[in-house]
Structure 1
Amino acid sequence: MFQDIAIEDLSALRQAGSLVTIDVRSPSEYADASIPGSLNIPLFNDEERAEIGTIYKQVSVQAAKERGLEIVSAKLPAFIKTFAQIPGKRAVFCWRGGMRSKTSATVLDLMGIRTYRLEGGYRAYRQWVVSRLEQMELTPPAFVLHGNTGTGKTAILRKLHEHSYPVLDIERLAGHRGSIFGNIGLKSHNQKTFDALMSDELDRLEHAPYFLMEAESKRVGKIVMPDRLVAKKEEGKHIWLELPLEARVTHLLEDYQPWEHQEECLQSFRLIKARIHTPIAAEIEWALQHEEYRMAIELLLVYYYDQRYAHSDTSYDMDNRTVIKAGSVEEAVTEIQQLLGGVSNA
């Protein structure tokens, strides 16, 4: 008989890398949010799930079960073959740990494929994640990167991560860069996905000597950071990055590639157009329309983003900070590495 597994035990096995989680819900449920890294092997597709739900409501529970059995029976050979190809330990889950995961685990067990079933399903996992983030204890000190738009804070974090520095990349978890242009070229995550990824990051950083993060606002795109992480950021050790305007413009061009997203850039700009002095706003719009992207970005930095950042800058303790002046992202990475060299055991 298959074995039920509690969320805490499943989390420990996932953290050790010794368990594959399999979401047997429909593709649309999986696309909305799932346990990070899970495979989707649906027992029913979206249309079949909708059909069974209609029968359940309009006819009877028994009729819905019988129709579900008809659908599943035709799929069993392929379903079992797919599971058999997955190496190592496996755990299946559905929405509430109900019929879909029970059916999957039972059939697999009958074919000699041992599988765990997550108690309470995805709903229990989601509740566990929310509770965990509300009570999160992130003990390592935070080094927080500040800097005007275009100083490459996210790029710097990712280069440091490549060199095995402990990094918490909020923008990666959110699928958003945090500005009005922040989702251009990216697939934004919803709050459920962000929270799940954040929970996994807590496991990874738990025993780190420190971690690095960007000075994001509480809201990044449509997601909201946990209150305790915001507090951790505010009490952290702050690093102010300064790069020349030309280097910042070049970095933003490389990051956003506006020539691939001209209409999206125009749409995003029009959301803030009224906040910019009218003649300057007209120049920016003209530049975007005529593919003069370097000109548009420079004007946006000088007349919009730098002014906004100067205002927000006043909320931090000016004495508790280190200023790094660099000519490029690469130089900034080197200087931060030298700074962290003295706090490797912080």
Structure 2
Amino acid sequence: MPYLETVTDLGPESLSRFDAIIDVRSPAEFADDHMPGAINLPVLSNAERARVGTIYKQESPFRANRVGGAIVARNIAGHLESALADMPRGWRPLIYCWRGGMRSNAMATILSSVGWPVGLVKGGYRTWRRDVVEGLDGDTSPLPIVLIDGPTGSGKTAILQALQDQGGQVIDLEGLANHRGSAFGGFDDLPQPAQRLFETHIWDQLRRFDLSRPIFVEAESARVGVRRVPRRLWHEMLAAKRVEIHASASVRSEFLVTAYGDAVNDRGSVARALALLKPFHAKETLAEWQALADAGEHRKLAEGLMLEHYDPLYARSRKRREDKPVQIIELPALSADDIAAAAKAILAQA
């Protein structure tokens, strides 16, 4: 007999019962956001979904369902013959679509008829999205955020990674946003995720953390690239305790050349980044920086950008905060050993 379970609890423990989470929505819907760890096995492609929607609006719901049903059946057959061909008898998938309607029910019915024990998310993706919005905007319980603060090039992201490696709870906003938080911060081959997907990544981490222990976050602005930090987290960051990282300009410039190697070695990338600084600096200054880039003087370029642009921005932003750091870490260098030692000192005090 087919076995089909309706699932309402989308907590980590409940989801761990399933071997796979299958999002049957179109690739465009999946790219906008999806449940953590889900794979996309669409029963309607982007174009097919648009076609069925047009028929629904311009002709009739009945004809849209008939045309859509035929397409859905063919696509599910294709998945059974490809992605699902080698799944064992006891394999247990969890399936969802936009709102738990025709698309997910069709896939779930067929897979359960094959003999697999299938879970179906009640309410579909909208159930997941409701949980994310409530967790990031509606919940007002405090978060034990500790900010890793310091001027550009002081190794904050590397220290976050070291904190995580040593057992600390970390939210790497730049990593989740695919952006390093500056004019040079984007990755040409790695676009930023959609806002909803960025929020999903953050919520999935927060809901797994022990809130009796500190959560380390790099001090950021309200946006990382074009992605907005969710309201609850941003408000907690504004009030959070700070650990301040100190390193000299020469040490930081050397570190930046390595950390931003992909950007500074690409003339086009440097030119695009410097163009973003036009409202803040004279043409002569920007031309000088571009000339340093063209000449391969990357360390001088990094030091000039820090001393004339990023350090003044950092100083102004810190003037707006009345609190003092709870800990200051002085780093004579930013080697792997220095960064690991900094993380150890932060964890010891936290």
TM-score, structure 2 as length reference: 0.89
Residue equivalent to 1:205: 209
Q: Distance in 2 between matches of 1:228 and 1:115?
A: 35
Residue equivalent to 2:52: 52
In the TM superposition, 1:42-81 aligns within 5 A as 42-81=42-81
For the aligned residues, what is the CA RMSD?
2.3
Corresponding residue SS for 2:208: helix
- 1:327 equivalent among 328, 332, 335: 332
Cα deviation code 1:118-148 (max 9, x no counterpart) = 1121123212211221133565632211111
In the TM superposition, 1:33-112 aligns within 5 A as 33-81=33-81, 82-83=83-84, 85=86, 88-112=91-115
Letter in 1 for 2:311: D
Residue 247 to residue 194, structure 1, CA distance change in 2 (3 Å): same
In the TM superposition, 1:126-275 aligns within 5 A as 126-136=129-139, 139=142, 141-185=144-188, 186-207=190-211, 209-257=213-261, 258-275=263-280
Q: Distance in 2 between matches of 1:339 and 1:69?
A: 58
Letter in 2 for 1:29: E
Cα offset, 1:84, TM superposition: 5.8
Identity, % of aligned positions? 32
Aligned residues of 1:266 and 1:289 also touching (Cα < 8 A): no
Aligned residues of 1:184 and 1:261 also touching (Cα < 8 A): no
Corresponding residue SS for 1:187: coil
**Count of aligned pairs between the two proteins:** 341
Q: Distance in 2 between matches of 1:288 and 1:197?
A: 35
Q: Distance in 2 between matches of 1:233 and 1:19?
A: 36
- Please say if 1:123 is aligned against 2:126: yes
Cα deviation code 1:312-336 (max 9, x no counterpart) = 1112235343221112333143033
Structure 2: 5+ residue stretches without partners: none
Corresponding residue SS for 2:148: strand
Letter in 2 for 1:250: E
Q: Distance in 1 between matches of 2:57 and 2:274?
A: 47
Aligned residues of 1:105 and 1:117 also touching (Cα < 8 A): yes
TM-score, structure 1 as length reference: 0.90
Aligned residues of 1:190 and 1:222 also touching (Cα < 8 A): no
Aligned residues of 2:96 and 2:124 also touching (Cα < 8 A): yes
Residue equivalent to 1:312: 317
Decide which moves more: 320-329 or 106-115.
Answer: 320-329
Cα deviation code 1:154-182 (max 9, x no counterpart) = 11101221222211111122222222222
Aligned residues of 1:324 and 1:335 also touching (Cα < 8 A): yes
- Please say if 1:299 is aligned against 2:304: yes
